[in-house]
Structure 1
Amino acid sequence: MKRTHTHVSTRLGLVHAVITGSGDPIVMWPSLLMDAALWDAQVDYFARNHLTIAVDPPGHGRSSRLEQRFTFEECAGCVVDILDQLEIRRTHFIGNSWGAMIGGTLAATFPERVETAVLMNGTASSAPTVQQMQYRMLLMVIRILGGIRPPLTKSVVRAFLGPTTVSTRPQVVRKVVDIARGNDPVSIINAVHSVVIDRPDQRDLFASITCPTLIVGGREDRTFPLPELQAMADAIPGSELVVIDGAAHLTAAEVPDEVNRLVETFLANRAATSN
């Protein structure tokens, strides 16, 4: 199926998006250090019946360089900018990690633009002190090395992928490492500060979310372990939580068939309920 590449002018610079298919729209926003390619399997699956819009988030992939830090509200505004340029009134939203946080912000602050939200491997909490310290050290090494270079790639794999994927899905490991290494160091430094070190606690904000919301996590996720995922689910009224075995922080790439079935069932059930 033909994929169309476009750049959208947003409040955080030019954002690259891959647009495929037609029908009820789905916007997909990936994790920090990842780009739209995280969603390749979801685009292939859902573009048969949906208009899929897979985003390279600000400073990642083919989007323009991030010259400064940002807020989650600005990221949610980027999604609105994309929807406005594409003349889309409402959309389903699927986000992973950073994308999950932004999906929650979007659903809470622009409820009229969101049909449903699938928030994967995310959090609604601020970063604990230990995590902040770890990522400050990571940024020091990125500055010294000039980007994600060995031995940092091992740290990326450990943060994003669990033992099951590392031992049985070498193609996923290669893909994650290749995408991470392709990132611009200035953009990564600004993004890591904004998404991790300066991350706000959004639990009170998420309490105002009214759209149907599915929370998905990998049981082997080291970055946002299950208690953190549960806290996000508890903050969102009526949300549904599903934990997937044998997957970690990038479930969409690790177990794509399972994720596709899960999301398809969720969307079908919501459509049946609304009718």
Structure 2
Amino acid sequence: MDRPSPGAVESVPTRLGPLSVETIGSGPPALLWHSLFVDSTTWVRVREPLAATRRLVIVDGPAHGRSAAPEDLFTLEDCAGAALDVLRHLGIDEPVDWVGNAWGGHVGITFAAAHARHVRSLATIGAPVHALTAPERRQINLLVPIYRAVGAVGPVLGPLTTALLGEGADPGAAALIAEAFSGPARRGMARAIRSASLEREDLTPTLTSVPAPTLFVAGADDATWLPDAAAAAAARLPRGGWAVLPGAGHVAPLLEAAPALVSLLTTFWQDPDAVNSLHQSPSESTA
């Protein structure tokens, strides 16, 4: 299994309780927030090359990884406020390059709309802006009680791994997902699932309030965040672009297309204002 080089880790007090935050690298700051169900270990294949040009602030979201679980339900606005608490604690006042995977992308959109001066650029990966569909809600509502009762067993872990990585994921990526999901306390994780997934509203109306250059990245075979949907969302932004990377689930581009994702992000960071001209089809992004 992939093992990252350690950075400096500390527990940062926030409005959602203590969050585990790791910093690694040097240069302008970039904040990384992971997907729901997993934790910051999912950045393992991109963190070292990204840290060559950025000071990475890698957050474990509430109830995930080494972070505490809030006692109550929470909102994306609460998460955005907690991210601001992290930046203030670290003394970072300059705008950051936000990189969010799925849930982290939703938090990033909310953060960029509410705290525009703190965002230099925003990149979301596998982060559908629409709320869950009725079938998706039904599936999660069926699986959460099983998870609460017995944990990350096959009937829960199998569908989750497929949703995050697609069918036939490489064993190392699947093992990383399983380890990350199995770690947190089940009650806190179940509360996070309700807060960040089942209760999440449609973010489409928020897009016009995001002034930062914004890049939407979709997996070529991600059934719940199709390239056309990413392109349509980007068109609503004042400064938006989109790109497609290999992958069939929300987390797959991080783990199964890591070199391509690193290249895409570093190119975007070099000239965020060129994002309006960045419209890559699957064939272009995998060439």
Give yes or no for TM over 0.5.
Answer: yes
Asked if the contact 1:91–1:114 (Cα under 8 Å) also holds between the matched residues in 2, the reply is: yes
Amino acid at match of 2:254: A
Asked if the contact 1:43–1:54 (Cα under 8 Å) also holds between the matched residues in 2, the reply is: no
Following superposition, the deviation at residue 226 of structure 1 comes to 3.8
Q: Does residue 48 of structure 2 align to residue 44 of structure 1?
A: yes
Instruction: Determine what percentage of the aligned residue pairs are the same residue.
Output: 28
- Return closer, same or farther for 1:107/1:171 CA change in 2, 3 Å cut-off: same
- Return closer, same or farther for 1:228/1:185 CA change in 2, 3 Å cut-off: farther
Correspondence for 1:135: 140
Amino acid at match of 2:46: Q
- Between 1:220-229 and 1:110-119, the stretch displaced more is 220-229
In the TM superposition, 1:1-275 aligns within 5 A as: 3-89=7-93, 90-145=95-150, 147-163=151-167, 166=169, 169-250=170-251, 251-270=253-272
* Residues in 2 aligned to 1:231 and 1:72: alpha-carbon distance in whole angstroms: 22
- Which stretches in structure 2 are left out of the alignment for 5+ residues? 276-287
* Residues in 2 aligned to 1:105 and 1:79: alpha-carbon distance in whole angstroms: 11
- Return closer, same or farther for 1:195/1:232 CA change in 2, 3 Å cut-off: farther
Structure 1 residues 52-92: Cα deviation after superposition (integer angstroms, max 9, x where no partner): 01111001000012322101101000110000001111211
* Residues in 2 aligned to 1:129 and 1:2: alpha-carbon distance in whole angstroms: 41
Taking structure 1 as the reference length, the TM-score comes to 0.92
Match of 2:18, SS?
A: strand
* Residues in 2 aligned to 1:183 and 1:222: alpha-carbon distance in whole angstroms: 27
* Residues in 2 aligned to 1:235 and 1:128: alpha-carbon distance in whole angstroms: 21
Amino acid at match of 1:96: N
Following superposition, the deviation at residue 12 of structure 1 comes to 0.7
Asked if the contact 1:218–1:248 (Cα under 8 Å) also holds between the matched residues in 2, the reply is: yes
Amino acid at match of 1:189: A
- Which stretches in structure 1 are left out of the alignment for 5+ residues? none
Following superposition, the deviation at residue 187 of structure 1 comes to 1.4
Structure 1 residues 129-162: Cα deviation after superposition (integer angstroms, max 9, x where no partner): 22111111111111221x2222311111111112
Count of matched residue pairs: 269
* Residues in 2 aligned to 1:232 and 1:191: alpha-carbon distance in whole angstroms: 25
* Residues in 2 aligned to 1:78 and 1:46: alpha-carbon distance in whole angstroms: 23
Structure 1 residues 83-130: Cα deviation after superposition (integer angstroms, max 9, x where no partner): 000111121100000001011001111001100000110122222222
Match of 1:38, SS?
A: helix
Following superposition, the deviation at residue 195 of structure 1 comes to 1.5
CA RMSD of aligned residues (A): 1.8
Amino acid at match of 1:29: W
Structure 1 ranges of 4+ moved more than 4 A: none
